[in-house]
Structure 1
Amino acid sequence: MSIPITIDSLMERNIVEWARIEFKEGWNPDTTLKTISAFANDIDNWGGGYIIIGIEEKNGVIKRPIKGLNPDSIDSIQKSILQFCKYIRPVYIPVTQPVYYENALLLLIWVPGGYERPYQCPKVPTSKNSEKLYYIRKLSSTIVASNADVKELISLSHNVPFDDRMNMNAEISDLKREIIKDYLREVESSLIETVDTMELEKLANDLRIANGPKEYYRPLNVGLLFFNDAPERFFPYTQIEVVNIPDPTGQGMEERIFKGPIHQQLKSALAYIKNNVIAEKVFKVEDKAEAERYTNYSYSAIEEFLSNAVYHKSYQINEPVTVRIEKESIEITNAPGPDRSISDKDIKTFHMRTRRYRNRRIGDFLKELHLIEGRNTGIPTALKAIKANKSPLPIFLTDKERSFFSVILPIHETFKERKSDALDNGVQIAKTKRTREELEKAILKELGTDIMSLKELYKSLGYTGNPSKTFKECINDLITKKKISKTTISRTIFLERKKQ
C-alpha cells in the first residue's frame, strides 16, 4: 500500500498539524510502537498521524543536516515494525514507505485512526509477557490513558465517524477513477504514476476510501463524497446553495446550486462569489504613495467560513449548505451547529475550539487540497483577514438545540448606501426639517412604482435610526387616504404606492 500524501507536503505545506507528526531519530520499538497505538486509538478523531524515522528533533526544532537512515537498514526496520505491531491488541498494521527528503533516506509511517479501536500496546514491547496498556495522544505527546480516557476510548469504539463508515448501498464502481486522478494530480501524490494501471480496489485501498472483506468490499462515505460525480444520490441535498437577494422584496433574486464532489462544488461556489459578489474600492490618501484598497467582504474570510461549513456539516442531515447574499451582509449556514462542549460564551467571543472533529476524513482531504486550515485555526485566520480589510466583525448564530450554525458577515462600511448618496435630480436631499405635507409628498415621490420596507423608505429619505413617530403618522394618514397600501411579511412592513 502506498501513502497518498508526499513527504514534502507533510514537512513544508502545513497540511497536517504538527501534533499529528512525530519524529524519531532511529527505530526504537519501545517508543514507536506506543505512538503507533496512540495514533490508531485516535481519541480526538483527528484522523491518526504520521511517524517519520530518520529525523532528529529537539523541542520542536529539526536538527539539520538531516542524517536519515542507512539504506541497508530499511528492510529490516520494516520487518521489525510488522513483527512488533502484531503485539498490539487487536493487531494493527500501519502503512510504511521509504522516502527521500533533503537528500536523506527516511521511513514514513502512516497510522490512520483504527476501525477496531481501542488498541492496547505492551508497556515493554520487547518483553514477551509485558503488561498491555492503552496509549493516547495529548497535544504532541504519547501518554498512558487515564481511567476516564479508557472509558472514552471504549465508548468511541461504538461510534465510527459517519464519513469513515462503509456505505452498504454503493459499489466500488461508484468511485470514479478520473475524479481520483484529478485529486492525486492536485495534491502531487506519487500514486498518480500508477493510477491508470492500478485496479480500482487497490487504488481505493491505498487511499483508504473503501473497506470490508474481499467478498463484500464497499466504498466509505468519504470516498463517495469526494470521488463520485453525484454524491447526492447517497446523501440527499449534498450541495451548496448560493442565493443572491439584492432587494428585500425578493425582486431580482438569483439562485445558484452547486453539486458534484464536495471539493469541486466548494471551489465552484467560491469562484462564483469571487467573480460576482466581491467588489473593491480604491482610496487615494494624501502623503501616501500607495492607495488604500478595501473589498466589500473579505474573500479570504468567506473562503474559510464556507469551507468550514462543508467540513463540519453532518451528511446524515438532508440539508444543504446555504449562502445568502443580501444588500449589506452575507450569511453562511450549515446544519447542525457546534458541539455542545463549546459554550455560548465561546461562540460570542470567537473562541470556538473543539477536541473532536465530526468528519475526520473529510478534514484530511480538504487540508491536502488547501481548502481549510489546520486544527482550530480556521476562525482566527478568517478574523485576521476581516480585520486586515477593516470590515466589521462577523456575527455567529445558533439555537439552544444547536440545530444550525450561521456566520453573518456585514458589508464594509464604505460600501453601505448612505443618505448622502440619495439624490433628487442630482441634488442631495435637504437635511432641513420637513412639514407633514412636505414629508407626505416626499414619501409618495420616493415610493414611485417600487415596493419598499418601512425602514428602507425612512432611510432613503435621508433619515437615520428607527422610523420616527411623525413619519409613522404620515404613513398611516396616506394609508387612510388610500394613496399607499401596507403588507406585512415575516414581521416586516412593506409599502406600495396605489395607482390613482
Structure 2
Amino acid sequence: MTDSVDLDALARRENEQTEWKENVADVEKVVATLAAFANDLQNLGGGYVVCGVAEDKDEHGFPVLRRTGLTAARLKEVEGRVLSLCRAKVSPPITPLVEELPTNNPQRRILVFVQPATGSAHTFRRDDDGTRHYVRISRSTIEARNGVLKDLLVRKGALEPWDRRPCNGATEADLDLIALRDALQRMGVFSTDLGVEPYLSPDVSISAFVPPLLVAEPLSGVLRPRNFAVLLFGRETQRFIPGAVTFFSIYPGVDRSDPHAERHELAGNLLEQARRLQELFDVQSYTAFDKTDPAVPNAIKYPTRALYEAMGNALAHRDYEVADPTRLTVFADRVAVASPGPLPSGVDIEVLRAGTAPPRWRNQALAWFFARMQLAQAEGQGVPTILRLMREQGNPPPVFEADQVRVVCTLPAHPRHAALRDLRSAEQALVLGDLDRARARVEGVLGNDPLNFRAIQLFAEVHLARRDSAAVAAWVRTHAGQFDALPSQVLLLLGEAVGTEQARGEDRPLAIDLLVRAARGRLEERQLRRIVVAMRRAHDDEGAYALIDRQMLEHPEWANNPLLLQLRGDALIGLAKRCREMAKKPGIAQLTRERAWRDFHSYMEQAERDLRAALALSVDQHLTDQINVNIAFLAKLRRANQPPQRRAARGRRG
C-alpha cells in the first residue's frame, strides 16, 4: 500500500502521469500503460492508472471526476489480472503498487495502480500484437518506434548513444591526425613529446566526460573510431556518415522565389565545416551605420556569437542517422538554421523558447568537444545566450520551431538593414554591366561601414570588372589597419583585384600581402588554387610554390591532384625563368651566374616531374591539352637556354 492517493490532486496535474479508466474494458491497455510509466521516457518519475473513475467536465468546461468505482468482485478480478500480466508478460517484470480508495457508494471502490519509473526498458507482450516497448507521450500510451525507441533504449542504457558507437567500416587510418592534433592544441591538452599517439589507444580518453576516440572490436580486436571521432576528425567523413553535410544558402529576398541565389555545399569533418560556416556568417554579420541616430549609430545586423551558437547547436545536437543535410539559409531579413531530427526526448518546445530548458544532449560526446573548442556553449546555455545577445543588440527575438522532422532556429535581422537594398542593387547592376551604378551603390555602403564584408567583396568584384586595380589598391592602403577582421575569402578577392595583369609594380607587394593573409589557416583545395593563381599573376612564383608545397604536406591526399601539380609546375617554370634572367644579366659575378644556371635546370627538372605526373593523373581533356602545351614550352625553354659551358662542350663533341 502507498500513502493515500489524492485523486483531486491528480486531476489538477498534467495527464502525462495519470490514466483514468472507468470500466476497465481492456486490462491489457492498463498493463501497457503501466509499462510505459515504468519506461518513463519523459523523466516524470512514473505515473498512476486509476480504475473506476471517469474524467469529465463541468458546465464551465473545467475537469471534474466521476467516481463510479468498481464492485468488490470486479476490483479483485482487475487487480489480479493486471498483476499477473505485469509478472508474466512484461519484461523485465514490474510490480506496481496498489491502493483502494472509497467512493460515496460503500459497495464500490476505486482501484489505483502506482508505477514508479525504473532503470530498465520494459516490453509488454500483448496477445494480439506481439512484444512491444510502450511509452507515454502527452496523454497517450503509444508504441515506441524508430527515434523514440532509440531514445528510450539509450536513456535506459540498453543502447549506447549513437555518437559513442563504433563507426562501422572505419579504421584508425580514416582519422585525420593533423585535425586531431590541431584540436588537442586548441583544447590545451597536446604534448609535443607524446604527440597524438596516446589518444589512439582504446584505453585513453581526452576527458573523463567522453569515451576514447577508438574502441576495439570484441572478437577481432580491430580498432574502430567512434562516430563522434569520425565526425570531428574523419578524413572522409561523408563516406561513413552521409548526412554529415551542410548546405549554406543565400537568397537576396525574403523567400526562395528569387531566380538567383548562392549555395555552398560543405563537406569534410565538422570542425572544417564549423570554421567555414563561421567565415560565411562573418560576411552576414555586418554593422549598419545611421548618422541620424546619435544614441545608437551602429547596429549590427546579427550578433555574431548568436549565429555561431545557432550553428554550433545545429551541428552538435542534430540526428546524424538521418541522411538530410544541416541547412543554414540566409534571407534579406533573417537567418534560418534547420537541424534534422526532432527535439531530444523530454525537451518541451515552449520551455525551449523561454530559454529555461534543462541541459539535454542527443550527442553528448560531440557536444562536449564543441563546448571545449568554443563552438557552442556548455550546460545548455546556447539558447539563453542567443536570446540574450539578440535582445542586447536590439534584434527581434529568435523563433524556435520543432516537429518530428527537424528543429529550426530563425534569427531575425536588426531592423536597420537598409544597406542590404543598396548591396542588392549593386549586385543587380554588376550582373547587368552597369558598373558605374554598381560602384556608386557599393561605395555608398562602404562610406558608412568600411568593414561591411559583402560590400568589400562587391567593391573588389566591381573594380575587377572595371580593370581598375589602382582604385582597389588605394582603398586597401587607406583601411589596411582593419584587415585583421576580414575573413579569408574577402582578403582573397581584394588580392585578386589588386594583383591583376594591369597592376602597377608598386601595387604588387600589396596584392601579395593580401593573398598571404588569405592563405592563413587550413584551406579548401579550390581556395588554394585561386590564391596560387593570384600570386603568380602578382609575379610571386616563389610564394605560390612555397604555399602549394606547404599545403601538400598538410594534405597528403593533394599530392595526386593534377590541378595542383600543374600549378606547382607552372610556378617552378616561373622560378626557372627568373634564374635565367639572373644568369643572363650583364655584370654579375661568375659564381652567381653559375649558381643561377644550376637553379634554372633544377627548377626545370622539378617542373617537368610535376607536369608529367599531372598529365598521368589528368582525366580532363582541356587540362591534358594545357599540360601538354606547358611541357612543350618547357622543352623549348630548356633548348633555348643552355648555359654557355654546355653549348661549348656540345660544339667540341660535334
Give the alignment's TM-score, normalised by structure 2: 0.38
- Structure exhibiting the larger radius of gyration computed from Cα positions: 2
Which structure has more relative contact order (CA 8 Å, sep 6+)? It is 1
Normalized per residue, the structure richer in helix is 2
